[in-house]
């Protein structure tokens, strides 16, 4: 809900949602790991105009709930998969909610043109409540997926399969993060700063090995 | 006017936090703008209040943190007795600049800059403290920007464009661009190290190669592909590989 409606304070930002979910489950490291992964995916999105985008906040909650059931890499890949599906569904519901809001507001256009402040407030609060319900349903859907996925951790998904899945998830998050940043940076003078940052980050990463 | 300035501005500011609550494809943020502007219009004369409320809820789109500028300016113009078509033109004229400035300042500056620093700190082991710091620091800037926008709009009214040329805004935009690029640049390799640390050697190598290919794919077909589509596609491939790998 924080993503669009209220209060846009970045509570639903993946790195925050993941950490809070991890804290609730008593597993902050898993929350941080998946939060960081989905935060990189979030870089791919620039929410300008009426652009459509996936919803990574509830996705991260579902991912952490899935990954919490298994330690290390095993939960990471499956958690990411559950989160990605939840993000897709979340994005779809945002679009559908906006269409529904459009129909409701179009039907009330005569009342709105009369300048009735109560009608205006009623329509607006209705939108906020519908988004709250939508966000709750998306999160519940993600948690349901997490519950469905848990048996896979104990059965058909081997440790190697889980590593392959986690590798794909991490690689796509890094690619999305880099591509999204590249789009923001452009080909102007900031490109040099981006390159300098990448170089510095690489040096630190190598130094820490 | 004095009463409006105190209580009215406070109410309008609170309502601005929910300005996107009824987002729709017909009026975009119009309803939210109308709801935020309404407390500032309450002391208008009977015949002017309702038309002003109706005007406030017309089509509007801009960056949500800077919408206060339009809300304050339009409300002030209503109080100053500006003609309705001039107020409509003012609103129309503000959509583009407020959107563009807010996107550069916040979505492409302040937010990714702080997010990048947070990823660096988390990757280096700062844990939840880094995330809490991100939330606090980000929202200091966020709330300050919302308040400044509303206050500046109310102060300048129809001549609100002068507020958009405030030197601090331009200096912040000029500084945040390079800072964001550098911060996220540092974050990417450290995030890769943090996420791939528990992988075996072959997994780390596969992650780097796959990330490179996926990045090129996103650059090449960025118009049709998104990070989510690539991630879901790669996850599907990974499941098939895991299934057929003996």
Mark whether B74 and B143 lie in a shared domain. Answer: yes
In this model, does residue A153 exceed pLDDT 70? no
B243 interfaces chain A, CB cutoff of 8 Å: yes
Q: State which H helix or E strand residue B92 sits in.
A: helix B84-102
- Give B217→chain A minimum CA distance, Å: 9
Mark whether B87 and B145 lie in a shared domain. Answer: yes
Mark whether B181 and B71 lie in a shared domain. Answer: yes
Mark whether B214 and B106 lie in a shared domain. Answer: no
Q: How many domains does chain B have?
A: 2
Can you give the pLDDT at residue A179? 94
Residue of chain A nearest B137, judged by CA positions: A9
A25 interfaces chain B, CB cutoff of 8 Å: no
Whether B230 is covered by a domain: the verdict is: yes
d(CA B132, CA B130): 6
pLDDT 10s digits, A29-58: 999 999 999 999 999 887 766 677 899 999
Mark whether B213 and B246 lie in a shared domain. Answer: yes
Q: How confident is the model at residue B8 (pLDDT cuts 50, 70, 90)?
A: confident
Mark whether B203 and B88 lie in a shared domain. Answer: no
Q: How confident is the model at residue A73 (pLDDT cuts 50, 70, 90)?
A: confident
d(CA A130, CA A97): 8
Phi-psi region of B83 (alpha: psi -120 to 50; beta: other; left: phi over 0): beta
A149 interfaces chain B, CB cutoff of 8 Å: no
pLDDT 10s digits, B123-177: 999 999 999 999 999 999 999 999 999 999 999 998 888 888 888 888 999 999 9
Which of 5-44 (B) contact A at CB < 8 A?
A: 17-18, 20-28, 31-32, 34-35, 38
B28 beta partners: B24, B60
Whether B63 is covered by a domain: the verdict is: yes
Helix B167-196 vs helix A159-185: crossing angle, to nearest 10: 160
- Asked whether B227 and A175 are in contact (CB, 8 A), the reply is yes
Give the global pTM.
Answer: 0.92
Mark whether B215 and B135 lie in a shared domain. Answer: no
**Least reliable range by pLDDT among A4-18, B52-66, B178-192:** A4-18
Residue of chain A nearest B41, judged by CA positions: A117
B24 beta partners: B28
Whether B172 is covered by a domain: the verdict is: yes
d(CA B190, CA B188): 6
Phi-psi region of A115 (alpha: psi -120 to 50; beta: other; left: phi over 0): left
B222 interfaces chain A, CB cutoff of 8 Å: yes
Give the pLDDT mean for A123-152: 91
Whether B90 is covered by a domain: the verdict is: yes
**First-residue to last-residue Cα distance in chain A:** 40
Mark whether B143 and B212 lie in a shared domain. Answer: no
Which of 68-97 (B) contact A at CB < 8 A?
A: none
* Whether B234 and A172 lie within 8 Å, measured CB to CB: yes
Can you give the pLDDT at residue A155? 67
Mark whether B84 and B106 lie in a shared domain. Answer: yes
> Domain limits at B76?
2-189
Whether B28 is covered by a domain: the verdict is: yes
Give the pLDDT mean for A69-93: 88
Residue of chain B nearest A76, judged by CA positions: B195
* Whether A88 and B232 lie within 8 Å, measured CB to CB: yes
pLDDT 10s digits, B41-95: 998 887 889 999 999 999 999 999 999 999 999 999 999 988 999 999 999 999 8
Whether B220 is covered by a domain: the verdict is: yes
Distances (CA, A) of A175 to A101, A111, B84, B119, B163: 35, 48, 50, 15, 39
* Whether B231 and A80 lie within 8 Å, measured CB to CB: yes
* Whether B231 and A173 lie within 8 Å, measured CB to CB: yes
Q: Which of B163, B189, B215 is the last residue of a domain?
A: B189
d(CA A29, CA B228): 24
Give the pLDDT mean for A18-38: 95
Which of 165-194 (B) contact A at CB < 8 A?
A: 177-194
> Which tops the pLDDT comparison, A169 or A7?
A169
Q: Which of B165, B189, B213 is the last residue of a domain?
A: B189
Mark whether B142 and B225 lie in a shared domain. Answer: no
Whether B194 is covered by a domain: the verdict is: no
A171 interfaces chain B, CB cutoff of 8 Å: yes
Collect all residues of chain A within an 8 Å Cβ-Cβ radius of residue B32: 124
Q: How confident is the model at residue B225 (pLDDT cuts 50, 70, 90)?
A: confident
Whether B66 is covered by a domain: the verdict is: yes
Collect all residues of chain A within an 8 Å Cβ-Cβ radius of residue B188: 40, 174, 177-178, 181, 198, 201
Mark whether B153 and B235 lie in a shared domain. Answer: no
* Whether A77 and B238 lie within 8 Å, measured CB to CB: yes
Mark whether B179 and B69 lie in a shared domain. Answer: yes
Q: Which of B119, B198, B215 sits opposite A175 (nearest CB)?
A: B215
Collect all residues of chain A within an 8 Å Cβ-Cβ radius of residue B53: 115-117, 120
In this model, does residue B3 exceed pLDDT 60? no
Q: Which two tokens stand for residue A180?
A: 């999204």
- Give B160→chain A minimum CA distance, Å: 22
């Amino acid at each position: 809900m924080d993503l669009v409606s209220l209060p846009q304070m970045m509570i639903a930002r993946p790195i925050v949602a993941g950490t809070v979910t991890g804290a609730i489950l008593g597993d902050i490291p898993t929350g941080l790991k998946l939060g960081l992964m989905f935060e990189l995916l979030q870089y791919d999105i620039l929410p300008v105009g009426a652009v459509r985008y996936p919803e990574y906040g509830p996705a991260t909650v579902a991912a952490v709930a899935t990954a919490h059931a298994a330690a290390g890499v095993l939960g990471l890949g499956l958690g990411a998969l559950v989160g990605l599906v939840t993000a897709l569904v979340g994005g779809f519901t945002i679009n559908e909610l906006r269409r529904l809001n459009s129909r409701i507001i179009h039907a009330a256009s005569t009342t709105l043109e009369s300048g009735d402040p109560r009608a205006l407030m009623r329509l607006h609060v209705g939108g906020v409540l519908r988004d709250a319900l939508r966000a709750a349903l998306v999160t519940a859907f993600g948690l349901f997926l997490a519950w469905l996925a848990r048996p896979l951790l104990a059965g058909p998904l081997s440790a190697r399969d889980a590593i392959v899945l986690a590798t794909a998830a991490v690689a796509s998050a890094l690619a999305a993060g880099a591509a999204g940043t590249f789009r923001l940076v452009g080909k102007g003078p900031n490109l040099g700063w981006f390159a300098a940052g990448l170089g510095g980050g690489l040096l630190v990463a190598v130094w820490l090995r | 006017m004095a009463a409006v300035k105190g209580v009215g501005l406070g109410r309008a500011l609170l309502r601005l936090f929910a300005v996107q609550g009824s987002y729709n494809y017909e009026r975009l943020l119009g309803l939210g703008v109308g709801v935020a502007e309404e407390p500032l219009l309450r002391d208008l004369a009977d015949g002017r209040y309702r038309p002003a409320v109706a005007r406030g809820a017309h089509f509007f789109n801009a960056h949500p943190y800077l919408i206060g500028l339009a809300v304050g300016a339009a409300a002030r113009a209503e109080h100053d007795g500006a003609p309705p078509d001039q107020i409509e033109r003012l609103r129309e004229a503000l959509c583009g600049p407020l959107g563009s400035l807010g996107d550069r300042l916040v979505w492409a500056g302040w937010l990714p800059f702080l997010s990048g620093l947070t990823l660096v700190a988390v990757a280096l082991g700062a844990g939840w403290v880094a995330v809490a710091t991100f939330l606090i620091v980000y929202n200091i800037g966020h709330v300050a920007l919302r308040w400044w926008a509303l206050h500046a709009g109310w102060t300048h009214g129809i001549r609100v464009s002068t507020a958009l040329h405030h030197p601090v805004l331009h200096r912040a935009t000029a500084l945040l661009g390079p800072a964001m690029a550098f911060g996220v640049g540092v974050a990417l390799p450290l995030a890769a190290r943090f996420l791939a640390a528990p992988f075996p050697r072959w997994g780390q190598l596969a992650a780097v190669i796959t990330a490179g290919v996926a990045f090129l794919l996103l650059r090449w077909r960025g118009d049709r592909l998104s990070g989510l589509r690539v991630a879901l596609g790669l996850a599907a491939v990974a499941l098939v590989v895991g299934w057929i790998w003996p």
